[in-house]
Amino acid sequence: MSDSGLQMSRRIRRTPYMDRVETAGVRGYSVVNHMLLPKAFQPTVEDDYWHLREHAQIWDVSTQRQVELHGPDAARLVQWMTPRDLSNIAIGQCCYVPLVDQHGGMINDPVLLKLAEDRFWLSIADSDVLLWANGLALGAGMDVQVSEPDVSPLAIQGPKAEDLLADIFGDAIRKIKFFRFGYVEFKGTQQVIARSGYSRQGGFEIYLQGSELGSELWDTIWDAGQKYDIRPGCPNLIERIEGGLLSYGNEMTRENNPLECGLTDYCDLDSDVDFIGKEALHRIHASGVERQMRGIRFDGGRAPVCSVPWPVLDNQGRQVGQITSGIWSPRLDCNVGLSMIETPTNTPGQPVTVVTSDGAHRPGTVCALPFD
């Protein structure tokens, strides 16, 4: 911890898996939702990338905090918060939902879990949804409790995740469909397990309730995983960019609306449901978005680490966007990046220039997401 340069304090919360994460050789952290997120284990992100595509990894994603809405008005509140029509979702279903403000700006992009007709979890990205939801409930006089329960997701990702978890919890988990969840028994407790996760390699997320069980859960999976060449891991930057998975705070902020973020499929603008930002999104939809989230492939050899956004220029040298996450892809044999790009330069196939932080001007091409 000391060599990461991060000065610890109570405000930067540890996770229930942290002892095991440290033993496993974590090499650095980020902070998300005021909590540590492991960022590296293997010598390189590329080692992690190839391993994730072939085997199984265990990820401490406790920073995906749950905001629980519970009570008679829980369903009304959650629907008010998102343009996605939730009227037909079932108990046991997960749902990727943009949350927007009154101007259509992105507040967060959580995974919603419907636990009961009157109980939901919003599994959030990096912004304080707890306060937003509580403020809305209070202001609207809704009968709903808004809390952050003791739930810490642990992701098992990669093609061998299913076999590994079936060894531990039985074959029933094989029947869980994508973006559905069920329950498994662990040490006398019932735990939520969903087929989901922040990668395109398949896998599950266990929403551990009860921090005191963290080390035991990690050890159980770790021991059973030896057979599957399990390794400690974390959301992989190469895999995430290739898969077009957005990171709130990086690719988008409140400055962006879900239509330009490429989340139109999760916005049911024509439905009858009432939600915050409906008027704004209708207006934006009618006038057309001014920019769009895209992939960019670019050359010039291995790019440096993208810790500040890289300007994207059109063929007249005018800035039309910025790469907010970018890295070398060893599989595609070029650099890949995510960028919001202004119309009309954002149609796939357009040539652009990326100015990386080493000063290099690199030729690139706009492409659709995901990259494959």
Based on CB atoms, which residue is closest to ligand THG, 87 or 315? 87
Based on CB atoms, which residue is closest to ligand THG, 77 or 125? 125
Cα 29 from chain centroid? Answer: 16
Return the DSSP state at 228. G
Based on CB atoms, which residue is closest to ligand THG, 179 or 328? 179
Report, in Å, the least distance between residue 299 CB and ligand THG: 28
Composition of the chain by helix, strand, coil, percent to 5: 25, 35, 45
Return the DSSP state at 205. E
The Cα 310–Cα 303 span in angstroms is 11
Report, in Å, the least distance between residue 285 CB and ligand THG: 20
Kindly give, in sequence order, each residue whose CB lies less than 8 Å from that of residue 324, ignoring residues fewer than 6 positions away: 250, 251, 306, 309, 337, 338, 339, 340
Report, in Å, the least distance between residue 278 CB and ligand THG: 20
Report, in Å, the least distance between residue 289 CB and ligand THG: 19
Report, in Å, the least distance between residue 7 CB and ligand THG: 26
Report, in Å, the least distance between residue 272 CB and ligand THG: 20
Report, in Å, the least distance between residue 199 CB and ligand THG: 8
Based on CB atoms, which residue is closest to ligand THG, 202 or 210? 202
Based on CB atoms, which residue is closest to ligand THG, 271 or 304? 271
The Cα 339–Cα 244 span in angstroms is 11
Q: Name the site residues for ligand THG (rule: CB under 6 A).
A: 64, 95-96, 109-111, 123-125, 153, 179, 196-198, 205, 245
Beta bridge partner(s), residue 342: 291
Q: How many residues does the chain have?
A: 372
Based on CB atoms, which residue is closest to ligand THG, 186 or 204? 204
The Cα 245–Cα 268 span in angstroms is 20
Based on CB atoms, which residue is closest to ligand THG, 246 or 341? 246
The Cα 80–Cα 181 span in angstroms is 24
Q: How many CB atoms lie within 10 A of CB 129?
A: 23
Q: Cα dist. 370→86, 152, 321, 345 in Å?
A: 25, 28, 18, 18
Coil, strand, or helix at residue 263? coil
